[in-house]
Structure 1
Amino acid sequence: MRYICCQPSNIYYSWQVDTMIYSFVNNGINQEEIDIVFSIKSLEDNPCLYLLDKYPNVNFYFYPDTRKSIKYISSIRPYTLKKHFYKYPDLYKGTFMYHDCDIALTKPLEIDNYLCGCDQTCYLSDTISYIGHNYILSKGQDVLDLMCSVVNIDKEIIKQNEENSGGAQYVLKNIDYTFWEEVEIDCENLFYEVVRLNTKKVAEDDRHHPLQIWCADMWAVLWNLWKRDRKTKIIKELNFTWATEPIVKWGENSIFHNAGINNNKDKAFYKANYINKIPPNDLEINPTLASFKYYELVKQIL
């Protein structure tokens, strides 16, 4: 099986991808199975090129970002994957794992039972609480109506699939470039239209907590699977531990997701401090948080 992630080629993602690959290899994934897809502005002064020497058997791909208009920053992923899947259509005709790069494996993944290509079921991490039908509806019927209109999907499909509303880390099957093309268009339009509606709703009621539209690409991926009549199923093997959780949760799931920390007031490892620089190896990180263990991995790759 192949493992694929996609992100811009910059300092911020260089050390995250490095940490991710290191954890994958340490937990039994062959370098040859790992596909790292980067979007680039220029190959000159590319901070991720060192990874090619460090992991000589990992598959690295670089694609230029030539877009003129961008509404939503995360649309870089489907935009770049569209190019990659168009260039290599045969690589992903089977089963593959599509995942974030801000993850680490704490132990080997146990997903062999879900890799059969005999059906088209896709398997996902549990993200119901922040992308499911009930979450959207809690922000207003008008929000659900707008989102379904933008993606051109029946509201009943969203409602009926509440318990199948996963994302973040995916086991996908037989995906082609047209899928990513549609995801790119939909997530851009979702972001633009929902931001407008969110702004209007907050202006009318400053107590309103708007929909987390930063998840636009997750809705676009999930809903386009359903539009293609793909079944989705959440499985515990793709559960992940958040960075904010206690350190005892490290190792409870195979996947650690370095997300959820919005500041470093609790001495958590705050990745946003290292957008333009590599993390140092002498930080004092709160040893009670799972992010402490992630930082230990980061130090090993420095």
Structure 2
Amino acid sequence: MGCDGGTIPKRHELVKGPKKVEKVDKNAELAAKWKYCALSQEKLRRPIVACELGKLYNKDAIIEYLLDKSAERPNTDAVTHIRGTKDIKELNLTDNPEWQGERRSAKGDRYEDIHCGMFICPVVGLEMNGKHRFCYLQTCGCVFSDRALKEVKTEICHKCGDPFQNTDIVVLNGTKEEVEKLREKMEERRRAKAKTKKSKKSKAAESASTPSEAKDDTEVDEVRNGSLENGDESSQSDKAGSSGASRLSSSFNGGVPNLATSKRSIQEMEEKSEAFKSIFTTHSSAKRTKDQTSNWVTHTPYHF
């Protein structure tokens, strides 16, 4: 049955053995990491950014993801640790002069180097194609090969001159162990930032509360001191008033009349001169008859 025409089946066609383990093509894996975006799976094009774990992305793809996280994308698990634009760094890359990109003609008449990288190390000249370790600095975003950082040891960037530390170096597309170490550093850095924010908020709250309390205390003290001072002043004024009254009473001796107590008219005072009495309106010279006054005058004129 099934062997018509004299065909003889072989053993592997009739008996199903164990499946062969699928192996990943290393060239394809390197190309996917170093030439394609880890989120959109599109070809890398400037501007290119990197996260704190060392993965490469197109900047526009990251911005679209941050604006709308609910949209369906092919590889959203690779960007769950990115919360905002502060978690990524735009890379300062050096172009490879031998890279032609889409301009080259693939006619098959010449050798095509699939390992040719788009960017190189500005110090050593190694191509960034996955065969060599590359790192970037979180301070300025410049990219160098690991060999350049080891051979030329310095605390200043080779390209832009900005200072950096060893903790600012992040490996691009590292191994699983390196990615785990970078994740631990990222979590520690975020915890430290959260602690500093909390401490700043608590200090701001304390500084905002202490001046108000101090003002309240000073106001209470001022009120208390003011009441005491007012009490002292009132007592002093009472004493001064009593002493002044006694002085006035003692000053008028010898039967001299007191003007404050007596309500005598100035015109009845015999000790005053006639010129002094004529100043006042109660003098006879200031009085006028009805014929001398006019009807339209609404006030009593005091001129003569």
More relative contact order, 1 or 2 (CA 8 Å, 6+ apart):
1
Task: Return the TM-score normalized by structure 1.
Answer: 0.23
- Which of 1 and 2 has greater Rg? 2
Task: Return the TM-score normalized by structure 2.
Answer: 0.23
